[in-house]
Amino acid sequence: MARTRISFLTKPALFLLAGLCITVATTGVVAVALYQMRLDAMAQARDMAENLAISLEKETERTLDIYQIAMRNVLTNLETPSPELAPETRQLLAFNAAGTISDLGVIIATDTSGKVVLDSRSMQPSTIDVSRRDYFLVHQQSPDVGLYFSKPFMPITKSDYHSIAMSRRLADANGRFEGVVAGTLSLRYFRHLFEDSILGDHGSLTLIRTDGIILMRRPFKPGDIGRSLADGKAYPLMTRADHGTFVRRSSMDNKDRLFSFKRIGRYPMIIAVGLSVQDIYAGWRKRAIAIGAVTAVLDVLIIMLCLMFSAQLQRRLAMERQLQKLAWFDTLTSLPNRRLVNREARGILADARRQSSQFAILFVDLDRFKRINDTQGHAIGDEVLSEVAQRLRRCIQGEDMIGRLGGDEFVAVLRQCDVHKAAHVADRILQAMQQPIAVNAGRDVSIALGVSIGIALYPHDGRSVDTLLRNADMAMYRAKNAGRNQMHFYAAEYEYEAKEHLELEIALQQALREGALQVAYQPKVGAWGILHGAEALVRWHDQKLGTIAPDRFVAIAEESGLITELDTWVLEQACSQLAAWRAVGVDVPNISVNVCAADFKRADFADFVARTLQTHGLRPSDLTLEMTERVMFDESTDDIRATLEALHAQGVTLSIDDFGTGYSSLSYLQRFPVRELKIDKSFVMSIGTSAMAESLTQTVMNIGQALKLSIVAEGVETVAQRDFLSRHGCRIYQGYLYSPPLAPQDFAQWAKARGRA
596's contact among ligand C2E, Mg ion, none, with CB below 5 to 8 A by partner kind, is ligand C2E
Least Cβ distance, residue 17 to ligand C2E (angstroms)? 57
Phi-psi group of 716: left, alpha or beta (phi > 0 → left; psi -120 to 50 → alpha; rest → beta): beta
| Radius of gyration of the chain measured on its C-alpha atoms | 58
- 533 binds ligand C2E per the rule CB under 6 A: no
Window contacting ligand C2E (CB under 6 A); options: 252-260, 319-327, 348-356, 545-553 = 545-553
Nearest in space to 120 (alpha carbons), one of 185, 215, 178, 192? 185
Q: Which value, to the nearest 10 degrees, does the dihedral of the CA atoms of residues 347, 353, 354, 360 take?
A: 60
Specify which residues 712 forms β-bridges with. 678, 732
Q: How many CB atoms lie within 10 A of CB 157?
A: 10
Q: CB-hemisphere CA count at 13 Å for 36?
A: 6
DSSP string, 129-166: B-TTSHHHHHHHH-TT--SEEPPPB--SSS-SS-EEEE
The only residue of 299, 344, 657, 676 in contact with ligand C2E, by rule CB under 6 A: 657
CA 617 remoteness from chain centre: 56
- 658 binds ligand C2E per the rule CB under 6 A: yes
467-526 residues in contact with ligand C2E (CB under 6 A) are 522
Least Cβ distance, residue 678 to ligand C2E (angstroms)? 7
C-beta separation of 304 from 298 below 8 A: no
| Helix pair angle (563-583, 744-756), 10° resolution | 40
Contacts of 605 (CB under 8 A, 6+ apart): 599, 643, 647
In terms of CB distance, is 505 or 535 closer to Mg ion? 535
741's contact among Mg ion, ligand C2E, none, with CB below 5 to 8 A by partner kind, is ligand C2E
Q: How far is CA 637 from CA 359, 604, 735, in A?
A: 28, 16, 32
Please report, for the chain, how many H helices and E strands are present, in that order: 22, 26
74's contact among ligand C2E, Mg ion, none, with CB below 5 to 8 A by partner kind, is none
| Helix pair angle (605-615, 637-650), 10° resolution | 30
Least Cβ distance, residue 680 to Mg ion (angstroms)? 6
The letter for the amino acid at 45 is: A
In terms of CB distance, is 61 or 599 closer to Mg ion? 599
The only residue of 23, 714, 721, 733 in contact with ligand C2E, by rule CB under 6 A: 714
715's contact among ligand C2E, Mg ion, none, with CB below 5 to 8 A by partner kind, is ligand C2E
C-alpha span between 208 and 217 (Å, rounded) = 9
Least Cβ distance, residue 474 to ligand C2E (angstroms)? 39
- 715 binds ligand C2E per the rule CB under 6 A: yes
Nearest in space to 133 (alpha carbons), one of 111, 164, 160, 159? 164
In terms of CB distance, is 279 or 626 closer to Mg ion? 626
472's contact among ligand C2E, Mg ion, none, with CB below 5 to 8 A by partner kind, is none
C-beta separation of 231 from 82 below 8 A: no
The only residue of 473, 626, 629, 676 in contact with Mg ion, by rule CB under 5 A: 626
- 537 binds ligand C2E per the rule CB under 6 A: yes
The only residue of 596, 613, 677, 713 in contact with ligand C2E, by rule CB under 6 A: 596
Q: How far is CA 32 from CA 25, 27, 36, 148, in A?
A: 11, 9, 6, 53
The only residue of 717, 718, 731, 746 in contact with ligand C2E, by rule CB under 6 A: 717
In terms of CB distance, is 167 or 655 closer to Mg ion? 655
696-735 residues in contact with Mg ion (CB under 5 A) are 714
- E strand map for 698-757: 710-714, 732-734
Window contacting Mg ion (CB under 5 A); options: 369-377, 558-566, 621-629, 744-752 = 621-629
- 57 binds Mg ion per the rule CB under 5 A: no
91's contact among ligand C2E, Mg ion, none, with CB below 5 to 8 A by partner kind, is none
Q: Which value, to the nearest 10 degrees, does the dihedral of the CA atoms of residues 592, 598, 602, 608 take?
A: -20
C-beta separation of 211 from 230 below 8 A: yes
Q: What single-letter DSSP state applies at residue 329? A: B
Least Cβ distance, residue 508 to ligand C2E (angstroms)? 12
- E strand map for 312-443: 359-366, 401-406, 409-414, 437-439
Window contacting ligand C2E (CB under 6 A); options: 339-347, 401-409, 498-506, 549-557 = 549-557
Least Cβ distance, residue 535 to Mg ion (angstroms)? 6
Window contacting Mg ion (CB under 5 A); options: 114-122, 435-443, 650-658, 725-733 = 650-658
In terms of CB distance, is 311 or 720 closer to ligand C2E? 720
- 657 binds Mg ion per the rule CB under 5 A: yes
Window contacting Mg ion (CB under 5 A); options: 112-120, 226-234, 622-630, 688-696 = 622-630
C-alpha span between 175 and 191 (Å, rounded) = 39
Size of the site for Mg ion (CB under 5 A): 5
The only residue of 570, 674, 677, 709 in contact with ligand C2E, by rule CB under 6 A: 570
- 594 binds Mg ion per the rule CB under 5 A: yes
C-alpha span between 222 and 632 (Å, rounded) = 102
Least Cβ distance, residue 418 to ligand C2E (angstroms)? 21
DSSP string, 682-699: HHHHTTTT-HHHHHHHHH
522's contact among ligand C2E, Mg ion, none, with CB below 5 to 8 A by partner kind, is ligand C2E
The only residue of 50, 119, 495, 567 in contact with ligand C2E, by rule CB under 6 A: 567
In terms of CB distance, is 252 or 627 closer to Mg ion? 627
In terms of CB distance, is 522 or 653 closer to ligand C2E? 522
C-alpha span between 430 and 397 (Å, rounded) = 16
In terms of CB distance, is 74 or 596 closer to ligand C2E? 596
The only residue of 505, 567, 658, 676 in contact with Mg ion, by rule CB under 5 A: 658
- 505 binds Mg ion per the rule CB under 5 A: no
C-alpha span between 591 and 577 (Å, rounded) = 9
| Helix pair angle (277-328, 12-79), 10° resolution | 170
Q: How far is CA 594 from CA 66, 383, 564, 626, 628, in A?
A: 125, 49, 11, 5, 9
- 550 binds ligand C2E per the rule CB under 6 A: yes
- 681 binds ligand C2E per the rule CB under 6 A: yes
468's contact among ligand C2E, Mg ion, none, with CB below 5 to 8 A by partner kind, is none
- 573 binds ligand C2E per the rule CB under 6 A: no
The only residue of 60, 337, 594, 624 in contact with ligand C2E, by rule CB under 6 A: 594
The widest CA-to-CA distance across the chain, in whole angstroms, is: 172
The only residue of 71, 538, 669, 730 in contact with ligand C2E, by rule CB under 6 A: 538
The only residue of 123, 293, 300, 549 in contact with ligand C2E, by rule CB under 6 A: 549
- 57 binds ligand C2E per the rule CB under 6 A: no
CA 543 remoteness from chain centre: 65
Least Cβ distance, residue 656 to ligand C2E (angstroms)? 11
- 567 binds Mg ion per the rule CB under 5 A: no
In terms of CB distance, is 57 or 567 closer to ligand C2E? 567
495's contact among Mg ion, ligand C2E, none, with CB below 5 to 8 A by partner kind, is none
Binding residues for ligand C2E, per CB under 6 A? 522, 537-538, 549-551, 554, 567, 570, 594-596, 626, 657-658, 681, 714-715, 717, 734-736, 741
Binding residues for Mg ion, per CB under 5 A? 594, 626, 657-658, 714
